Amino acid sequence: MQELPTSIGQLNALQNLDLWGCSSLQELPASIGQLNALQNLHLRGCSKLQKLPTYIGQLNALQNLDLWGCSKLQELLTSIGQLNALQNLHLNDYSSLQELPTSIGQLNALQNLHLNDCSSLQELPTSIGQLNALQNLYLG
């Protein structure tokens, strides 16, 4: 699958969106920000995904965001700091990630941050010290 239909935003009750292994998916429609009930977004292995829509920060119920292996993603948007319910963030094998946005320190519910094999990541932002709920930080 190369793209999702923009009508996906009309699925008001959708809680889980699993696109694991959709290696030809290049982008998500902006309408994904309308998925108010979405709790789990799995994009693991979407190796051609180039960007996330800025509207991803509107996913107020999102608890799990899995970007493992999304090696073509150009950046992690600052709007990610708006994900107030986010508990688990998987960025493993995100080889093009050079920096985390400082807004990551606003993720008050974040418990697990996975950064294994982020070979281009130079340093962590000082705002990471604001993650009071963080229980596990994986940096291998």
Is residue 83 included in any domain, yes or no?
A: yes
Is residue 3 included in any domain, yes or no?
A: no
**What digits encode the pLDDT tens for the residues 112-132?**
999 998 888 889 999 999 999
Supply the pTM of this predicted model: 0.93
Is residue 10 included in any domain, yes or no?
A: no
Residue that is written with structure tokens 């990630």 in the block: 97
How large is the average pLDDT for residues 84-112?
93
Residue 1 has a pLDDT of 64
Number of independent structural domains in the chain: 1
Please determine, for residue 92, whether its predicted confidence score (pLDDT) is greater than 80.
yes
Is residue 118 included in any domain, yes or no?
A: yes
Is residue 7 included in any domain, yes or no?
A: no
Q: For residue 117, is it left (φ>0), alpha (ψ between -120 and 50) or beta?
A: left
Is residue 1 included in any domain, yes or no?
A: no
Average pLDDT, rounded, for the chain: 92
Is residue 23 included in any domain, yes or no?
A: yes
Q: Is the dihedral of CA 92, 126, 130, 136 positive or negative?
A: positive
Tokens of 47: 């190796």
**What digits encode the pLDDT tens for the residues 3-50?**
788 889 899 999 999 998 898 998 899 999 999 999 999 999 998 998
Is residue 25 included in any domain, yes or no?
A: yes
Range of the domain at 55: 15-138
CATH number of the domain at 67, please.
3.80.10.10
